[in-house]
């Protein structure tokens, strides 16, 4: 499983001009289920993300987690994180999970993150979404459960 985290002051996702998810200070999390991924990988990432100390403390050091700051998260599916650009000029996405598996793992990821006590909003799996954000820092972190 792959995620791209962005520490944000705010973020929102819209479909067809209608806002469907928003978050304040916290994380925008782009999620991609890869072929062969399981709920175990999602559990690992959720646990790590909930504890990841990337928010500033009173001294300005990245020393607090999303839980410590009572932050929220916007979780957006993004199969393009599976892009294979090793050949030619058009990326391939054959490493991404099949849509039905990707949808299930995406929903599981968001629900498991919410179960940790984090307020979670989501995008719409498979939709053409517009994402707006104010990146705080900027702080952007790539995480992958496996070296491929």
Establish whether 80 is a catalytic residue.
yes
Cα(124)–Cα(126) distance, rounded to whole angstroms?
Answer: 6
* Catalytic one of 40, 80, 130, 140: 80
CB-based contacts of 79, cutoff 8 Å, min separation 6:
32, 93, 96, 102
Is residue 71 within 8 Å of residue 29, measured between CB atoms?
no
CA distances, 102 to each of 2, 35, 59, 64 (Å) = 11, 9, 40, 30
Establish whether 22 is a catalytic residue.
no
* Catalytic one of 12, 41, 78, 112: 78
SS3 for 116? coil
Establish whether 79 is a catalytic residue.
yes
Of 49, 82, 90, 43, whose CA–CA distance to 66 is shortest? 49
* Catalytic one of 79, 112, 122, 145: 79
Which residues face 75 on adjacent strands? 29, 122
Question: What are the catalytic residues?
Answer: 78-80
């Amino acid at each position: 499983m792959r995620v791209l985290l962005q520490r944000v002051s705010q973020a929102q996702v819209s479909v067809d001009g209608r806002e469907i998810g928003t978050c304040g200070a916290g994380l925008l999390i782009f999620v991609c289920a890869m072929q062969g991924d399981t709920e175990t990988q999602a559990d690992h990432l959720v646990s790590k993300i909930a504890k990841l100390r990337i928010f500033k403390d009173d001294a300005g050091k990245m020393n607090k987690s999303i839980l410590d700051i009572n932050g929220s998260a916007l979780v957006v599916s993004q199969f393009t994180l599976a892009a294979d650009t090793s050949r030619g000029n058009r990326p391939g996405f054959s490493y991404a999970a099949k849509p039905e598996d990707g949808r299930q793992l995406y929903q599981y990821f968001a629900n498991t993150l919410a179960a940790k006590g984090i307020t979670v909003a989501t995008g719409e799996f498979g939709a053409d979404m517009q994402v707006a954000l104010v990146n705080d820092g900027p702080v952007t972190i790539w995480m992958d459960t496996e070296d491929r």
